[in-house]
Structure 1
């Protein structure tokens, strides 16, 4: 049985959430500490979009400003997502930690995401991969939006895609994070987008009852334990991880350089951290 750090972060803004995810990825890569499952939420609500996407093609910037909604470029791929009432998960681990027999991205994505199918079954929902349902594909006119994609290992419930996941890799180290919408009100994000917002499924609608983050977290943790034969050590960011996250937030994820132009100050950020650490 493999021990994972379980980090329950609560709510944070968009730049903080992405900075923490990348800080944990960097820390694990450098130090080889325990693998991680992190659970968190977004407050205030925000958009995230894939590392290779053009935000000018996605968003109406005037509408974003008018409604006070932030956007952040993820370190991972995938399409644009609106994060509001949801539970987000982040896994940082090696292929060995996750028991992956192959290092192929596509196969590993399916193997990892399977734990969510188990979590939804615990909650009383029958889920499957889009590839198993025979309906995978995408509307290429609006493929920039995550909800318009039904790729092979996206999860469907009653034919509707629920949430989305994306991955970043460095050799055999994986960062995978994803969205589990608890409820969804399309009236806030829709005016901010340059494309019509497709159907967005959420747990409360599918369950026909209101579900909260605590109940969903319990199902996710239980499914993760079973799927990966894992044990958990309750944890939090250590001081070094907090410092890296703060540097990444200030120098990368809160800045227009990264979010608008994909200018990545990662090298300078880590150099600054190492300099500060040497002087401490």
Structure 2
């Protein structure tokens, strides 16, 4: 009998709540209260997330404030993302599951293969980066989508999905942003030292290649790919009361100046 994992689609949420719920779900998965979980979500308004260790000063904070663009610091690493027309995914797992027991890069690679299969399944001629680079070899840009790291997926030589992972002793949380459309004009205003030409040459949106693609079809193909790659059954379920209560508590952290501007 196949292991039962959980699929949750929470739809649009605020920047702070999206991060709080991801951490809350990861916490319950790690302590065994919830099964490994794939979550789909979107953003209630265009929002900027920065990596856990990234400097907030790489963002034009005044522009974001004047244009009501929320800024949130993720629990995961990586660089900044403008979340707008996209599908966001997170996966919470435990380290005692054999396929995830080999550390960050092996876990990252395993999850990337599932997304790679899903993209191929909807007709996208994507590529996956298999070479491991040493050090910060790509760009000094604050944007996540202006570098392609091990296990990440590109389309036509341009990055289409950015992911980052946070690991604890018992498990991990991986967050991923799948671009449907790219808005280089807005990105140029939000991110310091990010030029329009550089944005256009380094990232792309899925709908630029498949304009008729329904995001619901992409989500279904991701579900199927996870079931195939990991040989499990993904069951649609809801957020538990425990997870929602913890998320509401963590919301204070993700809304706080202390967390957002810690760097």
Q: Shared topology, TM-score over 0.5?
A: yes
- Whether the 8 Å CA contact 1:6–1:37 is kept in 2: the answer is yes
Q: Find the counterpart in structure 2 of residue 205 from structure 1.
A: 208
**Counterpart-to-counterpart distance in 1, 2:113 and 2:136:** 19
Q: Deviations over 1:134-159 (max 9, x none)?
A: 9x9754331x2111211121112221
TM-score when scaled to structure 2? 0.91
Kindly tell me the number of residue pairs found equivalent between the two proteins: 256
Distance 1:200 1:182 in 2: 11
Larger radius of gyration: 1
For the structure 1 residues 161 and 138, does the alpha-carbon distance in structure 2 shift closer, same or farther, using more than 3 Å as the test?
farther
2:45 is the counterpart of 1:44? yes
CA distance in 2, matches of 1:140, 1:200: 13
Distance 1:245 1:172 in 2: 19
Q: CA RMSD in A?
A: 2.0
Ranges of 4+ aligned residues in structure 1 off by more than 4 Å = none
For residue 18 of structure 1, report the CA deviation from its aligned partner.
0.2
CA distance in 2, matches of 1:75, 1:133: 23
- Which residue matches 1:60? 60
User: Would the alpha carbon gap of residues 31 and 111 (structure 1) be closer, same or farther in structure 2, given more than 3 Å must change?
Assistant: closer
Q: Residue 140 and residue 185 in structure 1: after superposition, are their counterparts in 2 closer, same or farther (change >3 A)?
A: closer
Structure 2 partner of 1:25: 26
8 A Cα contact 1:138 1:150, kept in partner: no
**Is the 8 Å Cα contact of residues 2 and 97 (structure 1) preserved in structure 2?**
no
Shift of 1:248: 0.6
Q: Show the counterpart of 2:78.
A: 78
User: 2:177 & 2:112 partners in 1: Cα distance?
Assistant: 11
TM-score by length of 1: 0.85
Closer/same/farther in 2, CA of residues 184 and 212 from structure 1, 3 Å limit: farther
